Amino acid sequence: MNRLLVLAAFASALVGCTGDGLRLFGPSGPTRTADGVIVAGTSGMTLYTFDKDTPGKSVCTGGCASNWPPFIAPADAKPVGHFTLVTRDDGAKQWAYKGKPLYFWVKDQKPGERTGDGFNNVWRVARP
């Protein structure tokens, strides 16, 4: 299936979510930057992956999760294409891309900022 169709289907599925109303993509689709397309969350905020995570498992907890808030999914969320769900140690569901859990970075202040890219050489901008 065409990757953009998968992304569009996923975004459409999340637009109607209740609860915190998080969406993986803003209303215009994936966020395009000078460096290419990135995966963005609510209001276009950049999402990241953590090299120390293993597929399907988040190891960013406690203080780590305070600085790198996990992209929490509604309890009734369903996987779509490469976008899957992982269960955190506290039982919360977290969005993942190709099995890699997704996070925000507290120091990004506006949509499109990527100040966490390469942080400690273990944090990477998520890309479709």
Mean pLDDT taken over the chain: 78
Residue range 23-29: mean pLDDT, rounded:
37
Residue pLDDT, tens place only, 78-93: 888 888 999 999 999 9
Radius of gyration from C-alpha coordinates of the chain? 13
Band of residue 9 on the pLDDT scale cut at 50, 70, 90: very low
Q: Looking at residue 33, what is its pLDDT? A: 67
Top mean pLDDT of 27-36, 38-47, 59-68, 111-120 is at: 59-68
Q: Are 122 and 102 in contact (CB under 8 A)?
A: no
At residue 30, the pLDDT reads 61
Domain coverage including residue 104: 3-125
Alpha carbon distance 69, 78 (integer Å): 20
Beta strands in 25-122 (DSSP E): 31-33, 36-38, 48-50, 83-87, 93-97, 100-101
Higher pLDDT, 6 or 85: 85
**Structural domain total, the chain:** 1
Residue 22 in this model has a pLDDT that exceeds 50: no
Question: For 28-57, how does the pLDDT look when each residue is reduced to its tens digit (9 = 90+)?
Answer: 346 666 677 888 886 788 999 999 999 899
Q: What integer pLDDT is reported at residue 42 of this predicted model?
A: 67
CB atoms within 10 A of CB 91: 7
**pTM, entire model:** 0.76
